[in-house]
Amino acid sequence: MKTRKLAMTSVMAALMCLAGMLLHWVSPGLVPFSVLPVLVLMSGIILGAEYAAMAMLVYLVLGLFGLPVFSSAPFGGVGYILKPTFGFLLGNVAAAYVVGRVYREGSLWWAIVAVLAGLGTLYLFGLSYMFMILRWVLDNQASVSSVLIGFVPFILGDLIKAGIAVWVGQEVVRRRKAA
């Protein structure tokens, strides 16, 4: 592993932890304004597929080991696996990997395509897991359509976050090349 990439991976994992912890003190109604998706998508651009996925995996493992880094109660621990939103945490790993795999350094077009692919991956993991937990664990009679309709209010905010991730990620890559 390259030392610089590994250090940047650690910083990204720490930023994820910090962003998740900051949401402890924010109203649950502000969840759509979480900065976590920006960091997930941006990490793929900045770190590349493997290191971005590793940063998200470190964040996930720290939370599962009980550190209070997740954004909603119980904030950490293995019990978090049974929360309907846990799929989005799994999706963070996959989305960061997809963004890094699709992105071609320096290309704005590929950054946009990569981030949209990452956002789609995040939704695929998160909504699939949510449906399974609601339906088969919590015995809620949720339908696929009700789960899909439930994420509609988040689309615009997530597209804005995707745009921020493209802009900041591209800028970081450009400045890193210039240095």
- What stretch of H or E contains 60? helix 49-64
- Contact assessment for residue 92 and residue 52, using Cβ atoms and an 8 Å cutoff: no
pLDDT of residue 30: 54
pLDDT of residue 27: 61
Q: Where are the domains of the chain?
A: 3-178
What proportion of the chain, given as a percentage, has pLDDT over 90?
68
pLDDT of residue 1: 60
108-118 burial, b at 16+ Cβ within 10 Å, e below that, comes to eebbbbbbbbb
pLDDT of residue 179: 76
pLDDT of residue 42: 97
pLDDT of residue 105: 86
Helices 36-47, 144-178: inter-axial angle, 10-degree rounding: 50
CATH for 3-178 (1.10.1760.20, 3.20.20.120, 3.30.230.10, 3.30.70.2190): 1.10.1760.20
Neighbours of 6 (CB within 10 A): 14
pLDDT of residue 74: 83
CA distances for 2 relative to 5, 50, 85, 139, angstroms: 5, 12, 33, 47
pLDDT of residue 122: 97
pLDDT of residue 21: 87
- Could you give the CA distance from residue 146 to residue 1 in angstroms, rounded to a whole number? 44
Per-position pLDDT tens, the chain of length 179: 689 899 999 999 999 999 988 877 766 555 556 889 999 999 999 999 999 999 999 999 999 999 999 987 788 999 999 999 999 999 999 999 999 999 998 899 999 999 999 999 999 999 999 999 988 888 888 888 888 888 888 899 999 999 999 999 999 999 988 87
